Amino acid sequence: MKKQSGFTLIELAIVLVIIGLLLGGVLKGQELITQGKIKNVIADFNGITAAYYGYQDRYKAIPGDDVNATGRWGATIVSGDGDGLLTGAYNLNLAAPAAPATDESSMFWWHLRLAGFVGGSGGANPNNAVAGMVGVQAGGDSLRSQAGVAGTGFTGLILCSSNLPDKIATAVDTTLDDGNPQTGSVRAVKQGVGGVAAANPAVPAAGDADPGPYTETGGIQYLVCKSL
């Protein structure tokens, strides 16, 4: 008679336990990575907001709009017009980040960097933790809480961060505001929906046609903007 060999129940149990521990470690590691990205995005919003107000406190002007920037830092630095607004979109440097334009939304970063409030050089937009774009622009009644109804959206300056996965966008809004993408000081729009571009989209006037609450499917990205 031939003797057959195989795994005992104890050996199989040990293998299953090891597999379970490995899977648990992978899932836990992924969750830690996600939490780290959430903290980085929140730190971007808080840090840049603090830098913006720090610049105003020191120079009595808005970075990018500062009429005294050229006199302070030299002829190669473009001054703003001092009207209290910023010209240009948050994603102005999307096509050529190595050669920033002279619009005030680009000079915003240059002025902050020259003043030592943020890292980097020039006027190129910084990236967020998911390789999206961080930028600032005039709100112009954008991201309205009621689509198409003027006077219900952002009207001042806004700070935007693009390409944020659904879980990260939800956590950022919940931490900084009310967790609703269409109300409060933090608002969002789904990328790739209702004519909104899939990556680094322009800020729409009224948001999605039907934005609804945040949806966590693992496949949706958001443009999230915060009032400055």
In a domain, 218, yes or no: yes
User: Distance between CA atoms of 101 and 113, rounded to whole angstroms?
Assistant: 16
The tally of domains found in the chain comes to 1
If you compute the radius of gyration of the chain from its CA atoms, what whole number of angstroms results? Answer: 23
Residue type, 205: A
In a domain, 5, yes or no: no
Examine the pLDDT at 152 and tell me if it is beyond 90. no
SS3 59: helix
Tell me the CATH number at 82. 3.30.1690
Closest CA to 163 of 52, 64, 44: 44
User: Distance between CA atoms of 186 and 228, rounded to whole angstroms?
Assistant: 10
User: Distance between CA atoms of 217 and 228, rounded to whole angstroms?
Assistant: 30
SS3 133: strand
- Confidence (pLDDT) at 97: 47
In a domain, 2, yes or no: no
Q: Which two tokens stand for residue 108?
A: 């915003």
Q: Which two tokens stand for residue 102?
A: 């002279």
Examine the pLDDT at 175 and tell me if it is beyond 70. yes
Which tens digit of pLDDT belongs to each residue from 106-140?
Answer: 899 999 999 999 988 788 899 999 999 999 999 98
- Confidence (pLDDT) at 94: 66
- Confidence (pLDDT) at 120: 84
Instruction: For residue 125, give its domain range.
Output: 10-227
Full-model pTM: 0.85
